[in-house]
Amino acid sequence: MKKENVKKFVVMGFNLLVVAMLLVSCNSGQKGNAGVVVSDSSAIHYPQETHLKNVRQLTFGGENAEAYWSFDNTRLSFQGKNNKTGLMCDQIFMMNVNDTTSRRLISTGKGRTTCAFFLPGDSLILYASTHLSGDSCPPEPVREHHKYLWPIYAEYEIFVADLKGNIVKQLTNNHFYDAEATVSPKGDKIIFTSDRTGDLELFTMNLDGSDVKQITNSPGYDGGACFSPDGKQIVWRASHFDTDSERIEYRQNLKKHLVSPMKMELFIANADGSDRRQLTSLGGANWAPCFDPTGKKIIFSSNYKTKAIPFNLYMINTDGTGLEQITYEKVFDAFPMFSYDGKKLAWCSNRANGGTRETNIFVADWQP
């Protein structure tokens, strides 16, 4: 889920990208010789980021997020919007990582979309969309008491499209929230989030939408799941309750198709939901997790040091040890994903945006 612009960080939202968009400065950016935006308030690569080499910026302008690799490691699917160009609502795009001019619209251009992911073979892309319920963007929720509320659009359904943007299959068809879908590297299962049982839980299904199974069953939000390289495990973010007041607030918001969690931690389990255990207990917002190529570490975004800005990328062993900071951006880094061959890392960031609110996609060679 992509971030929207806000001027003040107040409380963690469902996806938390929205709360990361603070106005950094009024400094203007300028084009460097390599075509990269250079800013007094931001850098494309920080010296402490020793795991990253040959950092490149792939998008320039607007809000671009959730960039996920094709199986052949040459392309990224992502969602983007840009009010300056009239693209007022997130739509799904595809891009070759070695040709920034190859950006192509995959979704219908109608409604709001989110969470695109390549299917095995790289000829089809999975994503969620509200376009069947209307051509325009669905309304944003009203923020109550200055709290950020993320909409759980019941209009979201999960679709499969070819690389020309033709929808070839609709995988869900109901009046519940169905989104946040990713695909197992084994090529056999899709995992997604839905509130069809009255709570936000994780479900799996086959690539054709059959054999839907609920695999989490804990009060609170479970979502944003990712498979391990061998497809045997999953990692996800969850917002659960420590107090009755948190539980009551969550249920009240959910009845209005809204979520405003105060915190998120990471959980890990077998791909069928068994052997569930909590991976982080850091406090703040820990989210957007993804396995590293070895399957022994998790990379994720967190603001645990400040409980506000900045969000940076961290890695942790799957047993909860060895926490290490990976990026050092001053505002926001999130949505990391390793290429399937383990050679590159893609993520989304506020770096190098000239002090604006723009979020762009970056890719780097990964140095273990």
List residues bridging with 189 in a β-sheet.
Answer: 206
Rounded to whole angstroms, how far apart are CA atoms 332 and 280?
Answer: 20
CB atoms within 10 A of CB 39: 19
Residues near 301 by beta carbon (within 8 Å), at least 6 away in sequence: 16, 285, 286, 287, 288, 311, 312, 313, 314, 333, 334, 335, 336
Is 47 domain-assigned?
A: no
Strands in 297-302's sheet, in edge-to-edge order, are 286-291, 297-302, 312-317, 324-325
Find out whether 360 and 56 touch, Cβ atoms under 8 Å: no
DSSP H helical ranges for the chain: 244-255
* H or E element at residue 71: none
- Which range (32-46, 114-128, 292-306) has the least confidence? 32-46
- Strand-pairing partners, residue 362, are 57, 347
The values of phi and psi at residue 50, to 5°, are -75, -20
What would the pLDDT profile of 199-234 be if each residue is shown by its tens digit? 999 999 999 999 999 999 999 999 999 999 999 999
Q: If 0-12 CB within 10 Å is exposed, 13-18 middle and 19+ buried, where does residue 184 land?
A: buried
Residue 365 lies in a domain: no
- Quick check: is 8 in a domain? no
> Structural domain tally of the chain?
1
Q: Is residue 55 included in any domain, yes or no?
A: no
Q: pLDDT for 145-194, tens place per residue? A: 667 678 899 999 999 999 999 999 999 999 999 999 999 999 999 999 99
Q: Residue 327 burial (CB < 10 Å; 0-12/13-18/19+)?
A: buried
pLDDT for residue 23 is more than 70: no
Q: Which residues, in sequence order, are CB contacts of 199 under 8 Å at separation 6+? A: 219, 220, 254
- What is the rounded CA–CA span in Å between residue 201 and residue 276? 14
Q: Does the pLDDT value for residue 111 go beyond 90?
A: yes
Average pLDDT for the chain = 88
Domain that holds residue 129: 63-338
Phi and psi for 131 in degrees, rounded to 5? -65, -25
Candidates 288, 244, 289, 238; CA nearest to 263 is: 238
Mean pLDDT of 334-358: 96
Backbone angles phi, psi at 133, to 5 degrees: -95, 0
Adjacent-strand bridge partners of 237: 223, 266
Q: What is the pLDDT of residues 329-340, one digit of tens each?
A: 999 999 999 999
Coil, helix or strand at residue 252: helix
CA distance between the termini of the chain:
28
Tabulate helix, strand, coil % of the chain (nearest 5): 5, 40, 50
Q: Are 336 and 355 in contact (CB under 8 A)?
A: no
Please write the tens of the pLDDT for every residue from 283-301.
Answer: 999 999 999 999 999 999 9
Residue 158 is part of a domain; what is its CATH number?
A: 2.120.10.30
d(CA 335, CA 288): 5
Cα 88 from Cα 99, distance rounded (Å)? 25
> What 3 state SS string does 151-193 have?
ECCCCCEEEEEECCCCEEEECCCCCCCEEEEEECCCCCEEEEE
User: Of 24-28, 42-46, 150-154, 335-339, where does the model show the most confidence?
Assistant: 335-339
**Residue 256 lies inside a defined structural domain of this protein:** yes
- Looking at the domain assignment, is residue 108 inside a domain? yes
- Whether 25 maps to a domain, the answer reads no
Distance CA 65, CA 116 (A): 10
* Nearest partner of 228 among 285, 170, 298, judged by Cα: 298
**Bridge partner residues of 172 (DSSP):** none
The arithmetic mean of pLDDT across residues 113-133, rounded, is 98
- Domain annotation covers residue 200: yes
In three-state secondary structure terms, 150 is: strand
The count of residues in the chain is: 368
